[in-house]
Every structure is written in C-alpha cells, then in structure tokens.
Amino acid sequence: MVSNYVIGVDFGSDSVRSILVDTGTGKVLATSVFEFPRWKEGKYCNPARSQYRQHPLDHLEGLEKTIVSVIRDSGVDSKQVKGIGIDATGSSPMPLTDEGIPLALTEEFSQNPDAMMILWKDHSAISEAEEITGLAKSWGGEDYTRYSGGMYSSEWFWAKILFIYRTNPVIAQINPNWVEHCDYVAGELTGLLKPDQLKRSRCAAGHKAMWHESWSGFPSGEFLAKLHPAFPELSRKMQAETLTSDRAAGNLSPKWAEKLGLSTDTVIAVGTIDAHSGAVGAGIKPGTLVKVMGTSTCDMLVASYDEVNPQPVKGISGQVDGSILPGMIGFEAGQAGFGDFLAWYKRLISQPVFDLIQESSQLGSGTKESLVAELNDKLMVYLNKEAAKVPLDSEVLAVDWINGRRSPGLNESLKSSISGLDMGSGNGQVFKALVESLCFGSKRIIEWFKSEGVEIKEVVGIGGIAKKSPLLVQTLADILNMPIVVSESDQTPALGAAIYAAVASGIYPDMQQAADAIASKKQEEFLPIPEHVEHYKCKYQKYLALGGFVEFGREAK
C-alpha cells in the first residue's frame, strides 16, 4: 500500500518550522526549523515604541529551506506529498501591491518598516484600537465588535493598518492590499496573490478583522470611512468570502513546485492562525479548553451551534463559525503576558549581575561570556526549584497584567502589581507569586466562559511552558481544581496545519478522522491536590481584590 504524506508549516514569532507527516500512522518523519535572520538582528523593530516588524524575505527563505529539508531528510517519494498546511501568528498583516507583490520586496520600500509584516505583538496602535471600539459603539449602526468580545485590540488587523496610514501618508496614498501572514504564505505557494484571487482565512478574518456572516463579511464601507477614507477601497479589495482551513486555497504553483521538488498536484490548504492550529493539533473537541502556554496564552474552545447562547460572549477575543473546526463555533481568549511575566522577573534580577560580570577586571572576556551563558541557562530552573520550596501560606501576591489584560475584558493599559512583600521575601516567594497570578488569571477566564454558558470539562496544555514547568502546571491544576493534561508533542501547531492539509487534499474526508490519526496524544496528567485547592480558593479572592484595586482604585466586588 502506497503511503501518503502532508507537510505542516508553522510560522512563529522567531522562526518557521516544517514537519512531514505520514497520514496513515500519524508519525512525524522529519522536522526542520529556520530562525529568521533579519528578525534575529533586530532589524525594522523599535521595542521602545512597541514596533515589531518582519521582512518577508525571512519568511520566504525559511519556507523554502524547511520544506526542502523535510522532504530530503524523510527520504519519501515527493510525489506522495499530497498537501501542505500553513499556520502563522496573527494578527500579522502585511501590504501587497495589486499585482500580489509584497511592498517590502519593491525597491522603494525594501527598507521601510511600515511596508513589512506587522507582527502580532506590535502594540503601537493602542489609541487606534480604542477609537475603533468607541466608534463601533457610537456610530449608530452595527456594533462590529459584537463577536470580538465587544472591544477591539491594538494587536488586530484594522487598528494596525490605521496606525500605519496615519503615520505614513505615502503608504496610505498607495492603499495596498493588506493580507494576514497565513493568507500571504498560502497565496505565495499557489501563485494566487492578486486581490480577486487570494483566499482569505475564516479564522484570521473572523477573530482579527471583524468579519462575520451576519453582516455579509467585513464592516461596511460607511463605517470604515469614518476611520480612514482609504478603508472602503481596501475592503473592496478584500472581498467578502472567507474559507475554513480544511478547504483548498489552490494547488502548488509551477514556480514553487520547482523550488521544492514537489508536484503541482500538491494541494495548499487555506491558512490559519498558529494558536487555533495548535488546538487542532492537540485534538480539541467540545468541552476541551486547549491552553497555548508561551510568551502569552491563547485559550481555545469549540462548541456546536446548539450549545452556544444566542448572545455572543463578551470580553473575549472572539467567537467565529469554523475558525478552529468546521461546523462549530470557535472561541478565543487569553492572557497578554504569561511566559513574558516570568522572563521579565528573570531579566530583572539577572541583568545587574550580568552587567557587573562584563565590567569585572578579575575575569577574562572568554570567562565572562561563558559565565553569563551558564547563569542564563540555569536561572529559570533555579527559580522554579526555589518557588517549589515556598510554603503554601506565603502572603506575596501578584496580578498578572504585565502586558495589560487580554481577557476577560480587554484593557491594554492595565499594569501588574506585587504585594505582601517584607524583609523575609526572597526570589522563591516572588517567583511563586508570579506563577500563581498567571494561574489565577487563567481561572478568571474559565469562570467567565462558564458564566456565559460555555461548557469546560478538561484543560489541555500545549507550548513550551506546559512542557518545561511542572510547578506551573501543578499550580494551575490546584487553582482550577481540574486535571491538566499536557500534550505529548512540542509542535502541535504544525500538527494542526498537517491535519488541515490532510483534509484539504482529500486524504481524509473530515477533521475528526484526520485528527484521530495525526493529533498529539497525552503525555502527562496533573491532578489537583485537595489541600492546595482549598487554600487557593481563599487566595483567589485576594487576587480579585488586588486586581480591582489596580484597575479601579478599590477592591473588586
């Protein structure tokens, strides 16, 4: 029997990963990772302004090298590679000419950050996002944020473009065709990049660009014109149709077939966002919350139509028909800072030491570099060990809004807080409080969903922190009073992309059968410890009170 294969391509913030999967066994036969060189050098970014941009050459080079690598390393017959699926960060829009050429690949704009892809974590458009939210509530027509949690984020499509148009009139005058990163990659592989050819992702459009079938697509031209006069024309270029990611965006173009050594019969699936793809790779089903634990978190859920209340869930990052699984409503929520909060503390306590080591006259340059590298590698492990020793009754308490609050109730201006410190407080107590605050933030999201009628029976953790920090996962189980399952695979977004490709290419008739064959299995389960559960019920109330004080200047009721 001839085997069939698919490739899943996962574009992250720092790198792109491709995997080649045997669709019969679900086995990953080869993996290749390419780090973005220009991004690694910090080009086109200005952290002080929260400006994070990426050049499309980073993506094109990585796409080619990783796919060629997995085909070569797996040794499979390239004719049996039937499909390619793509996921990418989002909202990460980029501008194209009307001929489908990335603006950054034209001579005039090759070094212009505003012509690059605007990475999801770029928060330069906070005031524009607030303006969109305000207009949606006040303009007298449809509230286009209704299915986006009732608020619009600076991380999302229209806010980012509005910021560019207001600060760069040259690009505003051109009014290019803006596309999500996942849609660009699929369009690049198929050669279908002109506005009337490009297939747009239901997931990206629905969660990030206020697309909804009840108002026939994207917001009306009348609404968009109140934001910027160029927006109605941009919306016309975008068209109204979106597709779920089990559908085909087209076949591999002759140009890319030659580059990759594949057939033009290879089907390219419609792109999707990485977190949603990760949920598919983890085997999401109704009642399962898949928690993507990285620098931030995304909490993903699906529900059948008859399980969802007629009124949309407020305060989350959106609910979209078919954004995760076709035929189901996909929900997204999350925390704006998760691993970032822990990394901030590590950096806070280590940077003075690292600086002093570099200034030391007692050490040679080679010793300095190796010492800093060794300490940097060991510090997070040390902090986890110290926190694990801290008694349960530590009074140090933190609120997790280091990057503002994403859910529930978007507020990007909120700050974090730490209280309960005394002269006996050490690194272990503070680090443990940060871990607890992240888990309390997760509990607040789950309680919010449940209060809105969305059922949650289990939590599955994926991502780097789920695999690397047993302390955090156990604390999460204790605070949620729920078992936490850790997914076996460390590349679930790429697995999800492979599952979409297996359906789009016709290997499997539906997502359930494809997921049964390919999705990640369970690695470990963390059960709540009863005495911890009771303690954290009380401390959670203190967390809510401190959060209320931070946000409103008074305790939450």
244 and 277 in contact (C-beta within 8 Å)? no
How much is the pLDDT for 535? 97
The residues with which 449 forms a beta bridge, in sequence order, are none
Residue 317 placed within a domain:
no
Q: Are 28 and 47 in contact (CB under 8 A)?
A: no
Amino acid at 208: K
Q: Is residue 437 part of a domain?
A: yes
Q: What is the pLDDT of residue 206?
A: 97
Preceding peptide of 408 cis, ω within 30°? yes
- DSSP assignments along 255-299, one per residue: HHHHHHT--TT-EEEPPEEHHHHHHHHTT--TTEEEEEESSSEEE
| Range list of H helices, 481-529 | 492-504, 511-518
Shared domain for 63 and 78, answered yes or no, is yes
Is the per-residue pLDDT at 557 higher than 90? no
The verdict on residue 495 lying in a domain is yes
Residue 124 confidence (pLDDT) above 70: yes
Cβ-contact 461, 476 below 8 angstroms: yes
Q: Answer for the pair 391, 432: CB distance below 8 angstroms, yes or no.
A: no
Contact 55, 78 (CB under 8 A): no
Region class of 483: left (phi > 0), else alpha (psi between -120 and 50), else beta: beta
Band the pLDDT of 495: cuts 50, 70, 90.
very high
Are 200 and 243 in contact by the 8 Å Cβ rule? The answer is yes
> What is the pLDDT, as a whole number, of residue 6?
99
Single-letter amino acid code for the residue at 168: N
In a domain? residue 288? no
* Residue among 452, 413, 441 at smallest CA distance from 552: 413
pLDDT at 309: 74
Q: What is the pTM of this model?
A: 0.93
Same domain, 344 and 278: no
Query: What is the CA angle 91-284-500, rounded to 5?
Result: 65
- Residue 298 inside a domain? The answer is no
Kindly state whether residues 464 and 513 are assigned to the same domain: no
pLDDT at 143: 97
Arithmetic mean of pLDDT, 415-442: 97
Residue 471 has pLDDT above 90, yes or no: yes
Contact 402, 340 (CB under 8 A): yes
Residue 73 tokens read as 């390393």
- Report angle CA 112, 118, 120 to the nearest 5 degrees: 160
Higher pLDDT residue, 151 or 307? 151
- 155 near 124, Cβ under 8 Å? no
Tell me what pLDDT residue 555 has.
57
Helix (H, G, I), strand (E, B) or coil at 227: coil
- Tell whether 247 and 388 lie within a shared domain: no
Same domain for 464 and 500, yes or no, is: no
The range of the structural domain enclosing residue 236 comes to 5-282+489-522
What is d(CA 61, CA 188) in angstroms, rounded to the nearest whole number? Answer: 12
**Same domain for 444 and 468?**
yes
3-state SS, residue 8: strand
Structure tokens at 81: 């590679």
The continuous run of DSSP H or E covering 447 comes out as helix 427-451
Residue 556 has pLDDT above 60, yes or no: no
C-beta of residue 274 within 8 angstroms of C-beta of residue 89: yes
DSSP state of 80: G
User: What confidence tens digit (pLDDT) does each residue in 318-371 have?
Assistant: 999 999 999 999 999 999 999 999 999 999 999 999 999 999 999 999 999 999
> What single-letter DSSP state applies at residue 113?
G
Give percent of the chain above pLDDT 70. Answer: 99
In terms of domains, do 386 and 414 share one?
yes
User: 535 and 517 share a domain?
Assistant: no
pLDDT for 420: 97
CA 440/CA 426 separation, integer angstroms: 21
Q: Report the pLDDT value the prediction gives residue 474, as an integer from 0 to 100.
A: 98
pLDDT of 295 higher than 90: no
Q: What is the pLDDT of residues 5-14, one digit of tens each?
A: 999 999 999 9
284: left (phi over 0), alpha (psi -120 to 50) or beta: beta
Mark out the alpha helices in 48-148 (DSSP H runs).
Answer: 56-74, 126-138
Residue scoring higher pLDDT (295 or 12): 12
- Assign 211 to helix, strand or coil: coil
Residue 554 has pLDDT above 70, yes or no: no
The backbone torsions φ and ψ at residue 252, rounded to the nearest 5 degrees and listed phi first, read: -60, 130
187 and 38 fall within a common domain: yes
CA 491/CA 318 separation, integer angstroms: 24
Q: Tokens at residue 150, please?
A: 């009732």
183 found inside a domain: yes
Q: Flag whether pLDDT at 315 surpasses 70.
A: yes
Over residues 71-99, the pLDDT tens digits come to 999 999 999 999 999 999 999 999 999 99
Q: What value does the mean pLDDT take over residues 470-477? A: 98
What type of residue sits at position 378?
K
Domain annotation covers residue 484: yes
Q: Are 454 and 464 within one domain?
A: yes
Would 189 be classed as within a structural domain?
yes
Same domain flag for 263 and 389: no
**Mean pLDDT across the stretch 222-241?**
95
Average pLDDT, the chain: 96
What pLDDT does residue 524 have? 93
**Do residues 386 and 405 share a domain?**
yes
What's the total number of domains in the chain? 2
Reference 101, options 19, 7, 188; nearest CA is 188
Do 156 and 169 form a contact (C-beta atoms < 8 A)? Answer: no
- Looking up residue 534, the CATH number of its domain turns out to be 3.30.420.40
